[in-house]
Chains A and B, each alone.
Chain A
Amino acid sequence: MADEPHDQAEELLPWYATGQLDAADRALVEKHLASCARCQRQLTAERALIHEFQSLTPEIETGWAQLRGRIVARPRSRPRLGTALAEFWELLKRPAVATLATAQVAFVAIGATILQWSSQPTYVALGSAPVAGSANVIVMFRPEAREADLRGALATSGAALVGGPTEADAYLLHVPVNARPAALEKLRKDSNVTLAQPIDGPAE
């Protein structure tokens, strides 16, 4: 650390110029500045340099889409079986769901999927080699979307629920490979769907 008043003040000038010194440091610099023409010139140049730096900003390609993809594709911490069953029961008790009694078979299918998912020993990484029936589409729904909306989107697109919700409330679906472009198009047109992306290869 500088020992002489001039050296100390000179060292602190950049932060004096940006207004980032505490009262004691500021007093030290100002006392010295009053009698040092050299430091006064340096301060002028510091301010010019700050102006130059602040007019420069790197042009960065947005990486948000990639980061969002990493988040939505991650599985949520898996609840215990009892918790999953309780959540499923709560889902069944919702009035909006209750009105869909005619679709009981579909609920049973979803319940079976949840049970199957909760009992799987490990999560299949998205980069894993796709196998028949594995997830090849990821979707997110509007927070306001109801269970019926979710089922409707699946039925319209011909997709099957494979997993989810992930940590970001995304769902993993499977559609036959040759039908995936059409399924993605239908999902993206669905007003309740906020995201529909293939997850094991480039977008068709």
Chain B
Amino acid sequence: MNLLGAARRPQADARRSSGLEERELLERVRERDLRAFERLYRIYQPRLGRFLFNLVQRPQVVEEVLNDTMMVVWDTADSFRGTSKLSTWIFSIAYRKAIKARLRWPDPVEDQTFDTRVSNDPGPDEELDHQRLHEALMKAMDQLSSDHRAVVDLTYFHGMGYREIADIMNCPVDTVKTRMFHARRRLKAAMPGSLFDWL
């Protein structure tokens, strides 16, 4: 896995799927339809992979946790009652699995001086091409705690609301808002260029 690899659009499977299609797939998974499960896997793999990478940051652990997560989906598809989105259910399983994996692989030490340090990277007057901006963004994300990264990514990439994120991470909505607020400040401090002149 390479988060800094070539930027490209998310995989088509992930983009084309709808909540209705996913529910239908889950119905077939309940009937032990392996092809339906493969389709569901391919829809969720890029999304979960990205989410989990933000939480555990080790490719081999990501794959292990991702497959463990989908194994739970396969095994307990009958237990999904539809009171939440299917994505919320699957992501919450992945989050719990990632928390357990993190006990084995603790977070990197967070840089507490981050809010105040001055970036030596090119200033706002220097035009950053997209690739450099992507790399700077990912580098800035690397400096966040795993929970902050997860909230940022669930918000910006996965397009989830703060209540859904709170359900996934099993925390109060105010905690989600606070994490997002502080994460944005830290991204601002880490990012070069004009994008973050706004804060």
Contacts and interface: CB of A to CB of B under 8 A. Distances in A.
A189 to B, nearest CB: 22
Contacts of A181: none
A59 B195 contact: no
B77 to A, nearest CB: 12
Contacts of A68: 34, 38
Interface in A49-104: 49-50, 52-64, 66-68, 70-72
B51 to A, nearest CB: 10
B187 to A, nearest CB: 8
Contact of B5 (A42, A52, A58, A70): A58
A99 B173 CA distance: 66
B157 interface: yes
A123 interface: no
Contacts of B116: none
A95 to B, nearest CB: 25
Interface residues of B, number: 54
Contact of A168 (B10, B32, B130): B32
A70 B71 contact: yes
Contacts of B115: none
Contact of A55 (B9, B181, B195): B9
A35 interface: no
Contact of A15 (B3, B62, B74, B155): B155
A18 interface: yes
Interface string B86-97: 000000000000
A59 B5 contact: yes
A55 to B, nearest CB: 5
Given A18-B155, A44-B198, A64-B38, A71 B45 contact: no
A18 B195 contact: no
Contacts, number: 120
B9 A57 contact: yes
A78 to B, nearest CB: 16
Interface string A16-44: 00111100000000000000001001101
Interface stretch (A6-14, A112-120, A153-161, A171-179): A6-14
B50 A58 contact: yes
Interface stretch (B17-25, B100-108, B117-125, B133-141): B133-141
Most buried by B among A14, A44, A48, A62: A14
Nearest to B196: A45
Contacts of A71: 34, 37, 71, 74
A52 B137 contact: yes
Nearest to B135: A56
11 contacts: A11-B181, A18-B156, A41-B198, A45-B195, A55-B8, A56-B7, A58-B2, A60-B62, A61-B1, A61-B59, A67-B41
Interface of B: 1-3, 5-11, 32, 34, 37-38, 41-42, 45-46, 49-50, 53, 59, 62-63, 66-67, 70-71, 74, 130, 133-134, 137-138, 152-153, 155-157, 159-162, 174, 177, 180-181, 184, 187, 195-199
Given A15-B162, A54-B156, A55-B7, 4 more contacts: A10-B181, A45-B195, A45-B197, A60-B66
